[in-house]
Homo-oligomer: A and B are copies of this chain.
Amino acid sequence: MDRVKKQAIAILGCGVVGGATAKLLTQDIDFLKKRTNLTFFLKYIIDTNFARAKELNLDSSLFKSNLDEVLEDPEVAVVVELVGGTTFAKNAALKILNAKKHLVTANKALLAMHGVELFAAARKNKVSISFEASCGGGIPIIRAIYDGLIANKQDALYGIVNGTCNYILTEMTLNGVSYKKALKEAQEKGLAEADPTLDVSGMDSAHKLAILSSITFGMQIDVDSIPVSGIDKLDLLDINSGKELGYIIKLIAMARLVDGKLAIRVAPSFIRKEHPLAWVTGSFNAISLYSHALGHSMYYGRGAGGSPTASAVVSDIISVFLGTAEKTFSTLPIWPDKTKPAPLLPDGEGKGRYYLRINAKDCAGVLSKIASVFAENDISISSVLQKELVEETAGEQITGAYVPVIIITHKVKEENMRKAIAKIDAFDFVKSKIVYIHIMDEHEEIF
Chain A interface residue bracket vs B = 35 or more
A323-360 near B? 1/0 per residue, CB < 8 Å: 11001100111100000000000000000000000000
Do the beta carbons of B300 and A151 come within 8 Å of each other? no
User: Within residues 198 to 241 of chain A, which ones have a CB less than 8 A from any CB in chain B?
Assistant: 218
A window 269-295: CB within 8 A of B = 276, 279-280, 291, 293-295
Q: Is A125 an interface residue (CB 8 A)?
A: no
Minimum distance in angstroms from A101 CB to a CB of chain B: 20
A149-B315, A298-B301, A301-B297 as given contacts; A36 in contact with B308, CB under 8 Å: no
- In angstroms, how far is the closest chain B Cβ from the Cβ of A286? 8
Q: What are the residues of chain B within 8 A of A370 when measuring CB–CB?
A: none
Say which residue of B20, B153, B327 sits within 8 Å of A323 (CB atoms): B327
Contact mask A131-162 → B, CB, 8 Å, 1/0? 01000001110011001111111000000000
> A31 to chain B: closest CB distance in Å?
6
Bound-state CA distance A307–B296 (Å) is 12
A132 to chain B, nearest CB (A): 7
Kindly identify which residue among B153, B295, B298, B318 contacts A31, using a CB–CB cutoff of 8 Å: B153
Question: Judging by beta carbons under 8 Å apart, are A293 and B24 in contact?
Answer: yes
Q: B37 near A333 (CB under 8 angstroms)?
A: yes
Cβ-based interface call for A195 (8 A): no
Q: Which residues of B contact A295 (CB under 8 A)?
A: 138, 301-302, 307-308
How far is B321's CA from A150's CA once the two chains are assembled, in angstroms?
Answer: 13
Q: Answer whether A138 and B311 are a contact pair too, CB < 8 Å, given A24-B151, A37-B333, A143-B148.
A: no
Which of chain B's residues have a CB closer than 8 A to the CB of A327? Answer: 322-324, 327
Most chain-B CB neighbours within 10 Å: which of A20, A37, A298?
A: A298
- With an 8 A cutoff between CB atoms, is A319 at the interface? yes
Q: How many angstroms from the CA of A291 to the CA of B137 in the assembled complex?
A: 14
* A149 engages B153 (CB within 8 Å): no
- With an 8 A cutoff between CB atoms, is A310 at the interface? yes
Interface centre among A34, A138, A280 (most CB of B within 10 A): A138
Contacts of A310 in B (CB 8 A): 151, 293
> What would 17 more interface pairs be, CB under 8 Å, given A147-B147, A147-B324?
A24-B151, A37-B331, A132-B148, A140-B143, A140-B148, A143-B144, A151-B310, A151-B315, A151-B318, A276-B280, A294-B308, A297-B301, A299-B299, A322-B331, A322-B332, A324-B327, A324-B328
